[in-house]
A and B are shown apart, each in its own frame.
Chain A
Amino acid sequence: MAAVQTEQVNLTINGQSVTVPKGTLILDAAKAIGIDIPIFCSHPKMAPVAVCRMCLVEVEKMPKLQPACAVYVAEGMAVRTMTDQVNKYQKGVLEFLLINHPLDCPICDKGGECPLQDQTYQYGPGASRYDFEKAHFDKAVPLSDKIVLDRERCILCWRCTRFSEEISGERELALIQRGVHTIIGTFNDEPATSNYQGNWTEICPVGALTSRQYRFISRPWDLDRTASVCPGCSMGCNIQIDARHNKIGRFQSRENVAVDDSWLCDRGRFSFPNFQRKDQERPMIRRNGAVEEVSFDEAIAFTADALKQAGGQVAGWASPADTNEEMFLFRRLFREVLKSPHLDHREGSVPDTDPDDMTLPIADIERLDHAIVLGGQDVIDAAPVLHLRLFKSQRKGVNVLKVAAGDGKQALDIVPAEALAVGVLATEANKKAAMDLQDKLQQKVKGSVRRLIVTTGPNGRGAKDLGILPHFAPGYASLNGQPGKGRVDWPGAALKALYVHESSPLNAFSPSDAESMWLPKLPLLVFHRFKPSPVDAMAHVIIPGHAFTEKTGTVTNMEGRPQRILDAIDAAWIREDWRVFMAIANKLGADWRYDSVSDITADLVGALPAYAALNHGERVRWGERS
């Protein structure tokens, strides 16, 4: 590994002294002391190209203006960013950029959050001297089923093409033609197939690349913005939920360098229609074959009564999209109140889980010598943004090996004994093979071998941490010989009731064949869920619940990082799911007194001190077993 560059360089910018590490760009040195240099093509995640020429500044002893985005600082350098020459030129380059730009801001999705618009206000000329017909290009070109391209708005900053080359490595977007005729496009105009296209819309500094889902939905200033986590998979990418009139307009990325490195995949980004609420529902009870609408209180009383009659013969399924706080109460309801060990969050049967599944943090992949992706594309499909991290790592020199789940031997042969840092990535389904490979590698190599198991759902990891499993207490503690039955065994387990709690259509309770036979015969099925589903028809009680995007709490990603989600959508006519759990428990004799989600979080951290990590934005560490 390269030694850390610590050599410092002193320079002045607009007369202000600044000391930055060698290898810093003028642009970043200026940013460090609060001096804004306008940019379009420059992007912190991409190599400098200096094509837009917006950032030109004066550097003493250099005859020409220099691009701040591409010139590195040097000892004694004197930079000036606000001189008459620079200001005059900034007006000039904006005038150039606008001569062929349609200036259709009033109908452009980007208007209001557009760097071209903002910088024209700040640095540009008030009026253009260009009085010819503008160059015309195709508008509203469908690049794929997700993205529309307006070639007239494009200012050819190359951000999207560079993303395609440097960040996703797919090289799907390219520059076509030359000069003023240059356009962005795909090879032969074939539809783009990348799973990362949404990022193009976010890095586009104009309204050229826009999302078809969000097109003409809202003006940016009309959006309510809520910090959350993507419900798409166990990666835990940070998102901002932008909603208008209490309806989700889009998911935008919210950079967390340790997790998503500021990117989202399309599967997660464009999953939001699943979370749009259609109707105002009330709880329903099936009595004597007829379904009737009831109040929440009535539904809770009915459920408590029915669960009581089932005695301990009741199973509970909480979806891997539930919050840790909900799971904490759900587990208490079952273990402490209903005295049942039959808890699960899984779809089927997957191998035992343990804290060693997350000894390799996502960001550490970049610092490995060898990253073995066991199962290849399966792992990427399970957590698509991992691909971007792996590609970035590869560009930094990490040997990324993608091998089929059964071909661990191949990786074992390739990784040399001198390797210092090796990582094994796999899905839960291939966990046994991953552990086997990890053991063999550990015997072979000098350094450490760590693994990262991709879990299911945005909080599959939290479900395991909190013991929504038949065979573990919270914190992977032993159950002292009283394990319950897991989901696959429920149909044959003579149960009298099942309580299903579901927060996301992406992680729904989908009955298996055996369950489809069993459920209609079950005396009591409580279905506490966000969205109607085929399971409704079999349920005796349907309790409407909040969606992932409507609740506050914490979820834990695959690497064990608990992160907060906040309610972006107000569905106040529905009782919070945790209040329903509490009411049922209290009806059955408990005495829980939580006033808010943060009360539960505090209790959770008290019961599981490792979860104090969430107050520091860190990963949960279970005593560093490795």
Chain B
Amino acid sequence: MPLKPVLTKDFAMENLEQLAVYERAGGYTGFKKALEMQPDQLVEMVKASGLRGRGGAGFPTGNKWSFLPKGVYPRYLVCNADESEPGTFKDRYLIEKSPHQVLEGILIGSYAIGCNLAFIYIRGEYLPQHEALETAIDEARQAGYLGKNVLGKGYDIDIILHRGAGAYICGEETALLTSLEGYRGEPRLKPPFPAIKGLYGKPTVVNNVETVANLPHIVNNGAQWFKAIGTPTGAGTRVWCMSGHVNRPGNYEVENGTPIRELIEEHGGGVWKNRKLKAFQPGGASMMVLLPEHLDVGLDFDAIAKAGSLAGAGGMMVMDETTCMVDAARRFVKFFHHESCGKCTPCREGTFWMANLFDRFEGGEAREADIDLLLEIGYNIDGRSFCPLGDASTWFPRSVIKFFRDEFLEHVSEKGCPFKKPAVEAVA
């Protein structure tokens, strides 16, 4: 099936990052159209479109907007560009190729919720993307899309671009807001939810880059057009970040509901080196592992959840038959151990302990009882930690134990890793 892109359909155009080119491709018509509408109409339109957040949780965007308490101002829209989930790189691509599409989405969202100052919190390592946005914001301001009384419609809007300092936790929305305010990047107690008390204690909406990038298209083409794309509960397309053992890794925008098999085999060119598929992780480092038997599951929040994993932020990591699943789990556990903010006990201590245990499996000193101990530790973290970072640190390793317990046993009986190690180990 050929790709039917929405967000990336013009990405082949040269210099799309420039305002003039973006406008030539139809850019900012969505914003202009939005300004002719009442903000409430826009919220209803986005609700009707069925757009769900692309940051990971898949929460309906229009509903999120409608949680803002009436009459409380100022209120803020924060675009979460702190894309840090290992295995995801779609936001980076969207920003790099078409920063104005992201800005236009932010402008539409801001107008819809009645926000006059929006923020973009961008991952600190995304320096070229930061520059792209900076240039785009300058261009937009000069063209009158940003500032006082934009396009003569009496609406004031500006965007502040803020670089993160490299913590994974700051992708969690409350930690992002805390960091944006200048404090230690740590999640906040919910409730109150950001919609009620967010940035600087004011009503705040936090939307992912890909989420806002959809908005110009919804406004231009209508809610029904958008709803018709994808699945009944998963309207639209998603940009999937495919990596790992495939022939053509990269970003692929496909309609929701497209079978995983199509993404990996057709678009990705299949597993590399003529090897067999062993497992894949559909949503980034946090998510549970799936097996070849799940290849016909559709790329959709609900379908993937039904299969036992989560679509998350759209990081499709493919693992071939030579992959040591214990080592894969070890890499990710070490990542979460490294990125745990330390606020709550289960995540701080539990990820540390799990990392030690995984090292022991790879080092050949593990005992069989350590497998169940890992599950126990996971049980004591998942659902008990302060924010989803701790919970998610346990999902991949526990699912690997579920499907690949034999490999753990082999590590015990063979006193070490039975798989041939790659020459260079990736650095988390």
Contacts and interface: CB of A to CB of B under 8 A. Distances in A.
Chain B contact surface mostly: helix
Interface stretch (A22-30, A88-96, A413-421): A88-96
Interface string B324-351: 0000000000000111111111101111
Chain A contact surface mostly: loop
B386 interface: yes
Contacts of A70: 189
Given A64-B383, A100-B349, A155-B345, A179 B340 contact: yes
Contacts of B93: none
14 contacts: A50-B189, A53-B344, A53-B345, A53-B386, A64-B383, A93-B384, A96-B380, A97-B345, A97-B349, A100-B352, A178-B167, A178-B169, A180-B352, A182-B342
B345 A132 contact: no
Interface in A432-448: none
A179 B383 contact: no
A64 B343 CA distance: 18
A181 B346 CA distance: 14
B383 A96 contact: no
Given A70-B189, A99-B352, A132-B356, A93 B346 contact: yes
Contact of A89 (B340, B342, B344, B384): B384
Contacts of B184: 175, 178
Contacts of A412: none
Most buried by B among A70, A95, A175, A178: A178
Contact of A179 (B189, B342, B356, B360): B342
Contacts of A129: 373, 376
Interface residues of A, number: 33
A179 B339 contact: yes
Q: How large is the interface on B (under 10, 10 to 19, 20 to 34, 35 or more residues)?
A: 20 to 34
Contacts of A135: 352
Contacts of B344: 50-53
Interface in B154-189: 167, 169, 184, 189
A178 B189 contact: no
A541 interface: no
A96 B189 contact: no
Interface in A154-197: 155-156, 175, 177-182
Given A53-B384, A96-B350, A48 B341 contact: no
B241 to A, nearest CB: 26
Contacts of A65: 383-384
Interface string A95-135: 11101100000000000000000000000000001101001
Given A50-B386, A93-B380, A180 B345 contact: no
B18 interface: no
A95 B340 CA distance: 18
Contacts of B323: none
A49 interface: yes
Contacts of A179: 337-342, 348, 351-352
A49 B387 CA distance: 12
Contacts of A382: none
Interface string A455-491: 0000000000000000000000000000000000000
A180 B344 CA distance: 10
A92 to B, nearest CB: 3
A181 B351 CA distance: 12
A374 to B, nearest CB: 33
A569 interface: no
A97 B342 CA distance: 12
B384 A99 contact: no
B165 to A, nearest CB: 11
